Amino acid sequence: MDVIERPVLEGAAAVPGRAFDQFVRTGATVELKAFTGVTGDAGGYAVPREIDGEIDRLLTAISPIRRIASVVKVGSAGYRKLVTTGGTPSGWAAETGPRPETATPVFQEIAPPSGELYANPSASQAMLDDAAFDVEAWLADEIATEFARAEGAAFVNGTGVNRPKGFLQQPLAATGDATRPFGTLQYLPSGAAGDFGSAPQERLIDLVQALRAPYRQGACFVMNAATVARIRKFKTSDGAFIWQPGLAAGQPATLLGYPVVEAEDMPDVAANAHAIAFGNFRLGYLIAERTETAILRDPYSNKPFVGFYATKRVGGQVVNSEAIKVMRFAAS
């Protein structure tokens, strides 16, 4: 039996993507209010889930720390998490034996510092009037590119004031996991000020082995391109490179069997610089962000261009200081 589709009547509910397209091109908001739940008086309109998902996908692809860290979506401005230091105490007992009370675990509250991340791309009205111009893809790409640049720097070196706190801004100490205070990362010296020591391969092995075995499952190196260029030239005593390129398209290169993530915001090799990090960032670093990206259209401030003010609240902090180690380029 043939099914005859009835034409959509005028005044029917608008498709969200179409409503957002009209909002971006013309500023029309009548249809947009019906599905966003956020009014212009609240500071903009929430983008449709499809476009927000595209922004998240692009961010994950081009923001190196986001790609390896743990990301949670929150509905409020603040996010708090309780973690135990030293694990939860446990004990052994016979099948019918008594169960003595274990020691009380020590809890620490984690509240990642956050800030309002914003981008302000602009387009001419002629571009927006062009029906062949994919305005939604352009806007998602512009927002994601700017967000990735800003948050990439914050996740590494952010001060924690109106922005995430970068993992290199945590307190550092040379002591091991059992004696270091909570929230303090361990550093290992490279063996020479501003350079590797006489046996750089051994220093990298020491960095890997300083991370406890449970954390090494899923661990990776993080460094910038200049540091990668130096390490790629290292060879073993029999002339083999310790750097192994990816064997297939899309696979990362490996160093001592672990993936290498390039983060351009990591410092260069210099005296007392922490140019190499190694760890399980999914267990060690937490990114907390609001679920929606809000857009405010501004056709007045920069004529003849139309500006789009996009905002998203993003926070981040180290949640497990045992899961990340860094190398300090110093003699000791």
pLDDT in tens, 156-198: 999 999 999 999 999 999 999 989 898 999 999 999 999 998 8
**Percent with pLDDT over 70 in the chain:** 85
Domains of the chain: 16-80+110-162+287-318 (3.30.2400), 170-284+320-328 (3.30.2320)
| Rounded average pLDDT over 132-145 | 86
pLDDT of amino acid 10: 41
Measured between alpha carbons, how far is 311 from 297 in angstroms, rounded to an integer? 12
Asked if residue 136 has pLDDT above 70, the reply is: yes
Q: Write out pLDDT tens, residues 47-102.
A: 667 777 888 888 988 899 999 999 998 877 678 887 777 667 788 888 888 988 88
Task: Give kind and range of the element (H or E) at residue 204.
Answer: helix 200-210
260 pLDDT tier (thresholds 50, 70, 90):
very high
222 Cβ partners below 8 Å, 6+ apart? 64, 65, 68, 260, 261, 263, 266, 276, 277, 278, 279, 281
Of the two residues 230 and 239, the one the predictor is more confident about is 230
| Rounded average pLDDT over 125-145 | 85
| Rounded average pLDDT over 207-232 | 96
Of the two residues 305 and 328, the one the predictor is more confident about is 328
Bridging pattern class, strands 106-110 and 81-85: antiparallel
pLDDT of amino acid 52: 79
Report the candidate in 320, 253, 330, 290 with the shortest Cα–Cα distance to residue 147.
290
What is the pLDDT of the chain when averaged over all its residues? 84
Q: Write out pLDDT tens, residues 267-289.
A: 999 999 999 999 999 999 999 99
pLDDT of amino acid 237: 82
